[in-house]
Amino acid sequence: MSAVPDTRALSRRAFLGVSLSAAGGLLLALRSGAAGQETAAAGEALGAFIRIEPDGRIVIGARGCEIGQGVKTSLPMLIAEELDVPWPAVTVEQLPYGLVAAKDPPGFTSLYGPQGAGGSTNIPDGWHDLRLAGARARWLLIQTAARVWETPPDRLTTREAHVVHPDGRTLGYAELAPRAATLAMPAPAADVPLKAKGEYRIIGQPTRVVDARDIVTGVAAYGIDAAIPSALTALIARCPYFDGEVASVDEAQARRVPGVRQVVRIPGPRPGAPLDRNLAAGVAVLADDFWSARKGREALRITWTRPSGAADSSAALERRATAALAASAKIARRDGNPDEARNAAARVVEAVYVMPLLAHATMEPPNALIDLKPKSALLIASLQSPGGASQMIHAMTGIARTDIEIRLPRVGGGFGRRLQNDFVAEAVLVAQAAGTPVKVMWTREDDLQNDFYRPFGLHQLRASLDAQGRLTSWVHRVAATPRKYRAAGMEDAADWVGCVDPDGFPAGCVASYLAEFVPVDFSIPRGWWRAPLPTFCAFAVESFLDEVALASGTDPVTLRLDLLGAPRELPYRDHGGPTLHTGRLGGVLNSAARAVGYGRKLPAGRGIGLASHFTHGGYVAHALEVAVSQAGALEVVRCVCAADVGEIVNPLGLEAQMMGATLDGLSTALELEITVQDGRIEQSNFPDYRLLRMGAAPDVEVHLLPSGFPPSGAGEMGIPSVAPALANAIFAATGQRIRRLPVGDQLKSPARAS
């Protein structure tokens, strides 16, 4: 590989881009920071992520979309560990979306590797390549010091941003960086070694979020804070009926509102077409500021068309799903002979569980600021899929993807909502129609009523027990609104993807097992919702395990551990596979049970419930203790979470993720539901989509299990087992089984409990 040019004349924000090519080799390219950023004394770039300043500061680029999961801290920690620098000396800068053209094969390659946020993949994806980025930069510095000292490089070591000679002499990284930046990186075939676990000084240490002070003092910039000169603020009045259109609009009053500059129409998706752009037709009001745009939108007089789906309702949906449970189903997995086991059973246990539609309700509503030029574009938005946004802008404008600059500000929550880029498509449409830079903003009402909702579903479960109370068969039939409905790129996916977990526990642990799916028609869009498949299935499966335990006369925890059996790996085809480790799942269950004091005698009206789940490669269990009054008032007295996510990069960040996910799971299980009437979403803001209030939130006690396994992510693992643990605790306290979410007022109105 040829030597890299001297970078000392570059902007201090210049980076030497290094990325993996499609063939797994390294690409070297110069990439400068965003236009308009200041220049100053040059720092030295050692690879795509590292810059060493003359004053000794180490600047590390954070590549991922920071949506609250802590990757702006944890990913740079991986680099800093192998670079061998003290963490307090590190400054973290957010990298933009990086894309360069590739020739062989033709297409594009990423400068920085994966930059999206979905599926809890940032840590697993970065575990090797980001550590390697740090190790390669350290290799360059050692090679440089070896030349200065005329000493073989294998005799040199590093410590706290210095190269150390055997005689004790040291050279600081800042002294070495100018020459190191001119050296060629080692060839991939000669990859430098990585540290052994016992050598870690940063990985595994509790580390606070790098911009924590900025967040709590209001300095941190989110997408909603973005601004550029000449951009107008746009609010859109969207058709409340999915697939409806604008029949007529009187915009005269809107144009009279001070500050309103333009009113433009935007088309909706073609009926039946993939939902790969904006979700709804509408009318956009562009103004000098948010308030003027909002007042202008309120002044519009619009008549909407009502498509056939305008008759849809939640009640009709549940009737359809109930009827579908008796229809012919598509088989996702079949082991043994469930029918034969049922015929031979001493007892059969059956139950149906109801999962509602859910909105994402991110604290920061969707927004996008875009500046379209004839041959270039700038997007600043809170994203989870910057690659998808880049593709969308290119498809809608024809602008080359390498000429589309995407900046990645901190994001006020993702939960899967921002894997869709419909709000980016809106910004493109409005900017094209108006001929000006625009910032499309959403209100909370816009957000709750224009979402890709978590699917609705009924879970029908049946278990067969022999005369000794042993589980001989398990049948799980799901009737649900398919996740793949009008989803671009999922046309060839099985109908049950996102709604049935064919390999989830207890699959592989019961001799006869059947998982099947019946699709249910509904017009409301569906999407990925935090831990999409696990949260959709865990409540039914883990609640039903408790029902089976009761019927068999077995303790619920004992039943689970007996089914899991000896520690072993079972095949797992979905995200987080390829295997599920029974010992690790049993480990978190045992840990949570011990921590909560499972089995101790409790006063009347109190109960403990447990549940565990394998999610995206991680294992989490919850143990909840609840108290229920005679009047049906519910209090979560204690909440324990045990987690095994493999190697832990940042224990403090992991603990925060488990706490946040647990509270999100409680909030969802207790109150949250999206309902539809006459084709329209009924909920509009937090008074009727009521998130858990601070005063009702319990302390969450987190236990992190040490593990020698590679790391999984953590953003989604902590939520699936919360709802079933809560329901199991309620049953232990009251004898009332919750089979429908949310819990709502079912405890106060027993007749409503199904």
Q: What is the DSSP string of 307-335?
A: -GGGG--HHHHHHHHHHHTTS--EEEEEE
355 and 246 within one domain: no
Residue 750 confidence class, pLDDT cut points 50, 70, 90: low
Q: Kindly list the distances between the CA atom of residue 582 and the CA atoms of 229, 306, 335, 641, 711, in Å, as whole numbers in the listed order.
A: 57, 51, 18, 18, 17
Is residue 705, in this structure, part of any structural domain at all? yes
Q: Which residues neighbour 69 within 8 Å (Cβ) at sequence distance 6 or greater?
A: 117, 120, 122, 653, 657, 713, 714, 715
Phi, psi dihedrals of residue 208, rounded to the nearest 5°: -75, 160
Nearest to residue 61, comparing CAs of 40, 80, 88?
Answer: 80
User: What CA–CA distance (Å, rounded) separates 615 from 620?
Assistant: 8
Residue 406 confidence class, pLDDT cut points 50, 70, 90: very high
User: What CA–CA distance (Å, rounded) separates 312 from 654?
Assistant: 41
Q: Which residues neighbour 215 within 8 Å (Cβ) at sequence distance 6 or greater?
A: 209, 410
227 and 211 within one domain: no
Nearest to residue 722, comparing CAs of 605, 629, 616, 642?
Answer: 642
Three-state secondary structure call for residue 272: coil
390 and 492 within one domain: no
Residue 308, number of CB atoms within 10 A of its CB:
11
521 and 629 within one domain: yes
DSSP string, 587-602: HHHHHHHHHHTTT---
DSSP classification of residue 751: G
Tell me the pTM.
0.92
In 3-state terms the chain splits into helix, strand, coil percentages (rounded to 5) of 30, 25, 45
253 and 203 within one domain: no
- Domain end residue (candidates: 173, 191, 215): 215
Q: Is the pLDDT of residue 643 over 60?
A: yes
Q: What is the mean pLDDT of the chain?
A: 92
514 and 373 within one domain: no
Is residue 398, in this structure, part of any structural domain at all? yes
Percent of the chain residues topping a pLDDT of 90: 86
Phi, psi dihedrals of residue 205, rounded to the nearest 5°: -95, 135
Given a contact cutoff of 8 angstroms between Cβ atoms, the answer to whether 76 and 92 are in contact is yes
Peptide bond into 578 cis (omega under 30): yes
Phi, psi dihedrals of residue 617, rounded to the nearest 5°: 95, -5
Is residue 2, in this structure, part of any structural domain at all? no
Q: Is the pLDDT of residue 753 over 60?
A: no
568 and 519 within one domain: yes
130 burial level (CB within 10 Å; 0-12, 13-18, 19+):
buried
Q: Is the pLDDT of residue 13 over 50?
A: no
Average pLDDT over residues 146-150: 97
Given a contact cutoff of 8 angstroms between Cβ atoms, the answer to whether 739 and 543 are in contact is yes
Average pLDDT over residues 284-291: 98
User: For 537-581, what is each residue's pLDDT tens digit?
Assistant: 999 999 999 999 999 999 999 999 999 999 999 999 999 999 999
Three-state secondary structure call for residue 658: helix
DSSP classification of residue 128: H
Given a contact cutoff of 8 angstroms between Cβ atoms, the answer to whether 419 and 384 are in contact is yes
Tell me the residue type at 329: A
286 and 164 within one domain: no
Residues facing residue 635 across a β-bridge: 627
Average pLDDT over residues 206-234: 97
Q: Is the pLDDT of residue 324 over 50?
A: yes
301 and 169 within one domain: no
Question: Would you state the pLDDT for residue 542?
Answer: 99
Question: Would you state the pLDDT for residue 491?
Answer: 82
User: What CA–CA distance (Å, rounded) separates 657 from 651?
Assistant: 10
350 and 374 within one domain: no
User: What CA–CA distance (Å, rounded) separates 368 from 380?
Assistant: 6
**Sheet containing 170-172: which strands, arranged edge to edge?**
157-158, 162-164, 170-172
Is residue 447, in this structure, part of any structural domain at all? no
Is residue 635, in this structure, part of any structural domain at all? yes
Q: Where do runs of H (alpha helix) occur along 362-515? A: 386-397, 422-434, 444-449
- Beta strand residue intervals within 382-511, DSSP E: 404-407, 438-441, 457-465, 471-480
Is residue 318, in this structure, part of any structural domain at all? no
Rg (CA), the chain: 28
DSSP string, 184-210: PPPPGGGPPPPPPGGG-SSTTS----T
User: What CA–CA distance (Å, rounded) separates 419 from 383?
Assistant: 7
Average pLDDT over residues 276-283: 96
User: For 550-559, what is each residue's pLDDT tens digit?
Assistant: 999 999 999 9
Across 17-21, 368-372, 401-405, 744-748, least confident range: 17-21
Given a contact cutoff of 8 angstroms between Cβ atoms, the answer to whether 556 and 589 are in contact is no
Tell me the residue type at 439: K
Nearest to residue 358, comparing CAs of 120, 117, 527, 541?
Answer: 527
User: For 695-706, what is each residue's pLDDT tens digit?
Assistant: 999 999 999 999
Residue 189 confidence class, pLDDT cut points 50, 70, 90: low
Question: Would you state the pLDDT for residue 106?
Answer: 81
- Domain end residue (candidates: 418, 441, 464): 441
First-to-last alpha carbon distance for the chain, in angstroms, is: 68
Q: Is the pLDDT of residue 617 over 50?
A: yes
Residues facing residue 50 across a β-bridge: 60
Is residue 412, in this structure, part of any structural domain at all? yes
Is residue 147, in this structure, part of any structural domain at all? yes
Phi, psi dihedrals of residue 598, rounded to the nearest 5°: -60, 135
- Domain end residue (candidates: 413, 441, 469): 441
248 and 204 within one domain: no
Given a contact cutoff of 8 angstroms between Cβ atoms, the answer to whether 158 and 172 are in contact is no
The count of structural domains within the chain is 3
Question: Would you state the pLDDT for residue 47?
Answer: 85
Average pLDDT over residues 634-647: 98
User: What CA–CA distance (Å, rounded) separates 556 from 457?
Assistant: 25
552 and 415 within one domain: no
**Sheet containing 90-94: which strands, arranged edge to edge?**
44-45, 50-52, 58-62, 90-94
Given a contact cutoff of 8 angstroms between Cβ atoms, the answer to whether 568 and 586 are in contact is no
Question: Would you state the pLDDT for residue 749?
Answer: 64
Given a contact cutoff of 8 angstroms between Cβ atoms, the answer to whether 139 and 159 are in contact is no
Q: How far is CA 646 from its chain centroid?
A: 18
Three-state secondary structure call for residue 355: strand
Question: Would you state the pLDDT for residue 575?
Answer: 93
Domain of 109, CATH number, reads 3.30.365.10
Q: Is the pLDDT of residue 12 over 60?
A: no
* Domain enclosing residue 371, as ranges: 223-308+366-441
User: What CA–CA distance (Å, rounded) separates 396 from 377?
Assistant: 12
Q: Kindly list the distances between the CA atom of residue 129 and the CA atoms of 24, 27, 117, 614, 637, in Å, as whole numbers in the listed order.
A: 11, 14, 17, 25, 43
User: What CA–CA distance (Å, rounded) separates 73 from 79?
Assistant: 11
**Sheet containing 618-628: which strands, arranged edge to edge?**
606-615, 618-628, 634-644, 700-704
Residues facing residue 517 across a β-bridge: 330, 478
652 burial level (CB within 10 Å; 0-12, 13-18, 19+):
middle
No. of helices (H) and no. of strands (E), the chain = 16, 33
